[in-house]
Copies of this chain bind each other. A is one copy, B any other.
Amino acid sequence: MTSEVALIAPISGVIALLVVCYFIYFVLKQSVGTKRMREVSSYIIEGANAFLKRQYSTIIVIAIILAILIYYVLGWHTAISFIFGAALSLLAAYIGMNVAVRANVRSANAARRSARKAFLIAFRGGAVMGLCIVSLSLLGISILYYFFEDPELIVGFGFGASLAALFAQLGGGIYTKAADIGADLVGKVEKKIPEDDPRNPAVIADQVGDNVGDCAGRGADLFESFSDNIICAMILGILFANLGKNAIIFPLVAQAIGLIATIIGVLTIGKFKLSPNKSFNLALAITGFLCALGFYLSTIFLLGNINIFYAALSGLIASLIIGLVAQYYTGLGKKPVRKIAEASQRGSAINIIIGLSYGLESPFIPTLVIAGVIMFSYLICGGGIIGFYGVAAATLGILSTTGIIMASDAFGPIVDNADGIAEMSGIKDKVGTSLEKLDALGNTTKAITKAYAMACAGLSAVVIFLTYLRIVGLLDVTKGVFPVINVVKPEVLIGLLIGGVLPYLFSALAIGATGRTAFQVVDEVRRQFREIRGLLSGKAKPDYGKCVDITTKNALKGMIIPSLLAIVSPILIGFLLGIEALAGLLLGQTLSVLMLAPFFINVGGAWDNAKKYIEIGNLGGKGTKTHAAAVVGDTVGDPLKDVAGPSLHIFTKLVNMTALVFAPLFLSSII
Q: Report the bound CA distance from A172 to B250 in whole Å.
A: 58
Check A349 for interface membership: any CB of B closer than 8 A: yes
Contact B511 A360 (CB under 8 A): yes
Which residues of chain B come closer than 8 Å to A519, judged between CB atoms? 343, 346, 350, 354
Contact A497 B348 (CB under 8 A): no
Contact B516 A354 (CB under 8 A): yes
Check A330 for interface membership: any CB of B closer than 8 A: no
Q: A485-B488, A486-B484, A632-B347 are in contact. Are A462 and B493 (CB under 8 A)?
A: yes
Check A508 for interface membership: any CB of B closer than 8 A: yes
Output the least CB separation between A70 and chain B (Å): 28
Which of A115-123, A218-226, A588-596 lies on the face that meets chain B? A588-596
Question: Do most interface residues of chain A lie in helix, strand or loop, or is the interface mixed?
Answer: helix
Check A371 for interface membership: any CB of B closer than 8 A: yes
Contact A591 B512 (CB under 8 A): no
- Closest residue of chain B to A493 (Cβ to Cβ) is B374
Q: Report the bound CA distance from A497 to B462 in whole Å.
A: 11
Q: A364-B505, A367-B501, A504-B360 are in contact. Are A353 and B490 (CB under 8 A)?
A: no
- Closest residue of chain B to A367 (Cβ to Cβ) is B501
Contact A500 B591 (CB under 8 A): yes
Output the least CB separation between A235 and chain B (Å): 16
How many copies make up the complex? 2
Check A620 for interface membership: any CB of B closer than 8 A: no
Most buried by B among A360, A370, A505, A599: A360
Interface residues of A in 561-619 (CB under 8 A from B): 583-584, 587-588, 591-592, 594-595, 599
Q: Report the bound CA distance from A160 to B346 in whole Å.
A: 39
Which residues of chain B come closer than 8 Å to A405, judged between CB atoms? none
Output the least CB separation between A495 and chain B (Å): 9
What are 30 A-B contacts with C-beta separation under 8 Å?
A: A185-B346, A343-B519, A347-B522, A348-B348, A348-B632, A349-B635, A349-B636, A350-B522, A352-B352, A352-B632, A358-B512, A360-B508, A361-B512, A364-B504, A367-B497, A374-B493, A374-B497, A378-B490, A462-B493, A482-B489, A485-B488, A487-B583, A487-B587, A497-B591, A500-B592, A501-B594, A504-B595, A504-B599, A588-B591, A632-B632
